[in-house]
């Protein structure tokens, strides 16, 4: 049902853009920092929740997408795109490993990292103030479909070696979700129909990324979206 809705939405948006003469297209890439917002889903002690928050730290990621923009009026523009993103989180500290007979072939430390890859359909409104040329606000959401969830286990050895093993995590992650988006931007005209823009943006999941965990995990990102439109 969600897939059918997504395809119908993209088709309707494309048709609307095709009928609008005030259409521009573009592409953008956003280096970002991703982390988890961890919230309490039930009667859990505050110190346990605090420990869980300390256990995870953010990691670098990125988002890239192509888009079309339709100018609704002088102060409002609708943007719809199609993109790919990579986000994640990792343990804040190395876990020390002990063995009955320590040796150079046995790792002495371990660290986990979760890597999330998604396809997204961002829908954004650009709100242009009357007295600040080139500047605008951003508000919107992005519906995304999960491509993969990968758990990376990195082992450290006494001789300085490092080994990374990838596997599918045992948690059941959501196949579909949505991100809420807020930000602002600045647009610079390079040529008559070529514009360069910079957009500091923050996003946050609308729903938990997994339903079978003790806590509620929401992916939060902050980045600088940079691109061109024609």
CATH number at residue 24: 2.40.160
Dihedral angle at the C-alpha atoms of 92, 93, 94, 95, nearest 10 degrees?
A: -110
- How far is residue 207's CA from residue 229's CA, in Å, rounded to a whole number? 31
Which of 8-12, 93-97, 117-121 shows the highest mean pLDDT? 117-121
Is 45 part of a structural domain of the chain? yes
Is 203 part of a structural domain of the chain? yes
Is 151 part of a structural domain of the chain? no
pLDDT tens digits for 69-80?
A: 999 988 999 999
Is 132 part of a structural domain of the chain? yes
- How far is residue 225's CA from residue 218's CA, in Å, rounded to a whole number? 21
Higher pLDDT, 194 or 10: 194
Is 18 part of a structural domain of the chain? yes
Is 164 part of a structural domain of the chain? no
CA distances from 38 to 32, 48, 112, 217, 220 (A): 19, 11, 17, 5, 10
pLDDT-derived band at 214 (thresholds 50, 70, 90) equals confident
* Residue 142 contacts residue 127 (beta carbons within 8 Å): no
CA distances from 163 to 28, 148, 191 (A): 34, 21, 49
Q: Which domain holds residue 63?
A: 2-86+117-143+174-225
- How far is residue 5's CA from residue 11's CA, in Å, rounded to a whole number? 10
Whether the predicted pLDDT of 11 surpasses 60:
no
Is 69 part of a structural domain of the chain? yes
Is 183 part of a structural domain of the chain? yes
Total count of domains within the chain? 1
* Residue 168 contacts residue 154 (beta carbons within 8 Å): no
* Residue 201 contacts residue 222 (beta carbons within 8 Å): yes
Mean model confidence pLDDT for the chain? 86
């Amino acid at each position: 049902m969600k897939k059918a809705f997504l395809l119908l939405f993209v088709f309707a948006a494309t048709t609307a853009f095709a009928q609008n003469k005030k259409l521009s297209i573009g592409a953008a890439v956003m280096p970002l920092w991703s982390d988890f917002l961890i919230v309490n889903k039930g009667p859990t002690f505050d110190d346990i929740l605090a420990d869980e928050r300390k256990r995870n730290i953010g990691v670098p990621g990125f988002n890239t997408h192509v888009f079309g923009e339709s100018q609704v009026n002088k102060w409002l523009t609708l943007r719809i795109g199609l993109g790919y993103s990579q986000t994640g989180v990792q343990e804040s500290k190395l876990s020390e490993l002990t063995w009955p007979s320590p040796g150079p072939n046995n790792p002495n430390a371990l660290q986990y990292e979760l890597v999330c890859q998604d396809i997204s359909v961002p829908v954004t409104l650009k709100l242009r103030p009357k007295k600040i040329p080139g500047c605008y606000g951003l508000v919107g959401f992005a519906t995304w479909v999960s491509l993969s969830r990968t758990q990376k286990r990195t082992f450290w050895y006494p001789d300085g070696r490092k080994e990374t093993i990838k596997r599918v995590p045992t948690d059941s992650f959501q196949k579909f979700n949505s991100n809420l988006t807020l930000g602002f931007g600045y647009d610079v005209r390079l040529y008559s129909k070529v514009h360069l823009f910079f957009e500091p943006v923050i996003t946050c999941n609308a729903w938990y990324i997994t339903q079978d965990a003790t806590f509620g995990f929401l992916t939060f990102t902050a980045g600088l979206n940079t691109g061109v439109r024609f």
